[in-house]
Structures are given as structure tokens and as C-alpha cells.
Amino acid sequence: MTDVQTAAPTHSAPGVLGRIFGNSQDGATGDGHEQVVLCHDRSSGLKAIIAIHSTALGPALGGTRFFPYASEEAALEDALNLSRGMSYKNALAGLDLGGGKAVIIGDPNKDKNEAMLRAYGRFVESLRGRYITACDVGTYVQDMDVIARETEFVTGRSPEHGGAGDSSILTAFGVFQGMRASAQARWGQPTLRGKRVGVAGVGKVGHYLVGHLVADGATVVITDVSEAAVNRVRAAHPEVEVVADTAALLQAKLDVYAPCALGGALTDDSVAALGEFGTVIVCGAANNQLAHPGVEKDLADRGILYAPDYLVNSGGVIQVADEIDGFNFERAKNKATRIFDTTLEIFTRAAADGVPPAVAADRLAEKRMREISALRSVLLPGARRG
């Protein structure tokens, strides 16, 4: 028989478990995750990971990504990063929701089927509302309707089921509000009129953003690897300039750069190019734009005002969160309009504290998580806990 004491490792293994458990004592905002659930349904082949980073502000809301990860470790890593990001996004958006995210391992075009989605729905249900799911890369409103046959803890549903439908409409609207606030901070007027704005990626969000910019009187330059995406914008707005790729866009003497494709757009090289060609604002929809820590400081040092991505792209989560109480588009749009004020507040705090806006945004999100979760110490008679 194994001697448990001698068989036990003498020190905890670093790596992914270390990331989950973290080492901060601050339960509301600290690193680490509250709960990570590995879900396996043998018959449908479902392999999913639900990561709840924090329920400090309420049930953890975040979408389900269906993606052919290179490894299960890569899937876990993604779930941990994305769920943490949702805690900060939901906190700054003023929602009474914590942060979570789920990933389903597989190719959505080949592996997705009803049984798998419903099996996933049953795992979501088993968390009894600690996690609420929604769409993300590889999942669509129709998938949420299937998942909803097994759980009530799902939002981002189709309009015929009372859902909000396409979240990119308010995401683009929110990015536009963040850009208007950036213009106010930089030039004293909340408008892009007469400014040259480059949009990298004119997919679901990017093409709506172009519409707002054109209506506001901006000169818009776009690029996209998809010819169909470019043609759709050209058809709606023939005056828009098109350049071959992102490298050309960065050199297009932009006033404002809007990354709306994939994450990691702000690298050492791209920031250097922006600085060289006179761009003074970065504000776009893409998640996780900063390629590595330190880029936010490089932007600030070059005098480029960076509107934090998770702040300005929260219109979509505001939309699906609204659906939890019965969707009302005008109410959700009003909430997304407040991204303008929050962006200005972040710039003011950043200037006062002498830190880049990305740091000021993190601090404000953490402050809200700390202060609001502390309310639970006020006893409500009748409520057993919480």
C-alpha cells in the first residue's frame, strides 16, 4: 500500500493548477478562479470546460467558444483567460454579473450536433445558475436555443424565443461611443467628423462600425482578408477607401486605428508603425488587443490614447445581459451609451494616477468587484446566504 504522506509531492506543481488556485488573498478581485468544471459526455463526444473566474458581482456570464483547439491544455488556458476577461468586462459595464466562459473542444463545422449541445446544456444546468452561457466564436443564437432545451441559464437566444439576436449591433455602437469619448479627450469634441479612421476587419462588428463612422462624417479606410466582407462594405459605402492589408492600414496616416479582427493586434511593431505615421487614438472591438504586458505603456509613451478593449466592446454583453430580464433594445442601447462616460472616466483616472488607461480600467473594475461584493456582509433577514 502506498504511504500517502511520502507519495505526496513536496511542493505544488506550478502551471495551470497554480493559475486556477492563484495566490491572492482578495476573494473579490484576486487572481485564480472560483471554479473550473471539466465536462465529458461519452455518448455525444462532448468535451467542454466551464471556467468561472468570479461571482463577486453575481452569476458568471460569458459565452461558449466552440473551437478545434490543438490540445486540451490549450483549451483550458483559453477558458481561464477568457473567463477572467469577462469578470473585468462585466464589472466595468456596470452589470450585476460575474465572469465566466466555456469552451467546447471540436470543429464547430464538423463536430457540432444536437446531442452534444444538449449534453453541454445539462452541465450548465448542473451549476444551477452560477454560470450563464451565451454565444461566442463558433456558437450562434440557434445553438443557444438548442442548449436552452436543457437549461434556463442561457442567453443570447433568437428573437423568436425572446432573445436579442445579433449582439454585434450594440458591440459596434459601444465601440463608436468609446471612440467618440476618445475624440473628446484628444480633440475636445465627441465626434470623428473630418478624421481619418482605419478599421481592420469589417466582419459582424466592423461593418456596423463603418456605418456609424461614415454617418458621423469620418473618412474611413478599411482592410479585411475576406473579399466578401470588403465588398459588403463597398456596396453600402462606396466612399470608403480599401487597402490591401493591416500593414498598409497602419501606414495610412490614420488619426484613429480600430482593430476589429483578431486579438493581439497591438504588438511592438504595430505600435511603432502607428506612432511613426501619426495615429493618436486606438479604439476597436477586438478582444485582447495588447499582444503582451507593456504594450499599454508603449502606447502611452508614444502619446497614443488607447481605449481599453474590454471596456469599449462591452455593448454585446450588455445586450445579452439585458435579455436575462426580458429583452428591451432601447434599454440595452441606453446602457451601451454609457460606455462614452465610462471611457472618459477611465482617461481622467489614468491621467490623475499617471498610469496607462488599461491599468486605470483594471483598477476601476477591481474596485467595483471589491465594493459591491462586500455588500454581502450586510445581512438580509430571511436570506440564508449571499
Ligand X SMILES: NC(=O)c1ccc[n+]([C@@H]2O[C@H](COP(=O)([O-])OP(=O)(O)OC[C@H]3O[C@@H](n4cnc5c(N)ncnc54)[C@H](O)[C@@H]3O)[C@@H](O)[C@H]2O)c1
Residues that bind ligand X (CB under 6 A): 167-168, 171, 200-206, 223-226, 229, 246, 260-263, 285-287, 313, 316
Question: For the residues of 32-48, what is the DSSP string, one character each?
Answer: S-SEEEEEEETTTTEEE
Question: Which C-beta is closer to ligand X: that of 139 or that of 151?
Answer: 139
Give the span between the Cα atoms of 124 and 62, in whole angstroms. Answer: 12
Question: 195 Cβ partners below 8 Å, 6+ apart?
Answer: 183, 187, 218, 219, 255, 256
Question: Which C-beta is closer to ligand X: that of 32 or that of 211?
Answer: 211
Smallest gap from residue 321 Cβ to ligand X (A): 12
Smallest gap from residue 62 Cβ to ligand X (A): 11
Smallest gap from residue 164 Cβ to ligand X (A): 11
Q: Which amino acid is located at 296 in the chain?
A: E
C-alpha cell of residue 17:
493548477
Q: Which amino acid is located at 85 in the chain?
A: G
The label of the residue with cell 511520502 reads 6
% helix, strand, coil for the chain, step of 5: 45, 15, 40
Question: Which C-beta is closer to ligand X: that of 104 or that of 260?
Answer: 260
Smallest gap from residue 357 Cβ to ligand X (A): 18
Question: Which C-beta is closer to ligand X: that of 289 or that of 373?
Answer: 289
Task: Please confirm, yes or no, whether 112 is among the known catalytic residues.
Answer: no
Q: Which of 47, 89, 101, 335 is catalytic?
A: 101
DSSP for residue 203: S
Question: For the residues of 123-189, what is the DSSP string, one character each?
Answer: HHHHTTTSEEB-B-TT--HHHHHHHTTT-S-B-S--GGGT----THHHHHHHHHHHHHHHHHHHHSS
The residues facing 47 across adjacent strands are: 40
Residue sitting closest to ligand X (CB): 203
Contact criterion met (CB below 8 Å) for 276 and 215: no
Smallest gap from residue 18 Cβ to ligand X (A): 27
CA 304 to each of CA 76, 188, 301: distance values in angstroms, whole numbers, following the listed order: 34, 16, 7
Question: Which C-beta is closer to ligand X: that of 83 or that of 313?
Answer: 313
Question: Which C-beta is closer to ligand X: that of 219 or that of 313?
Answer: 313
The label of the residue with cell 449582439 reads 167
Smallest gap from residue 81 Cβ to ligand X (A): 12
Q: Which amino acid is located at 23 in the chain?
A: N
Contact criterion met (CB below 8 Å) for 164 and 319: yes
Catalytic residue numbers read 101
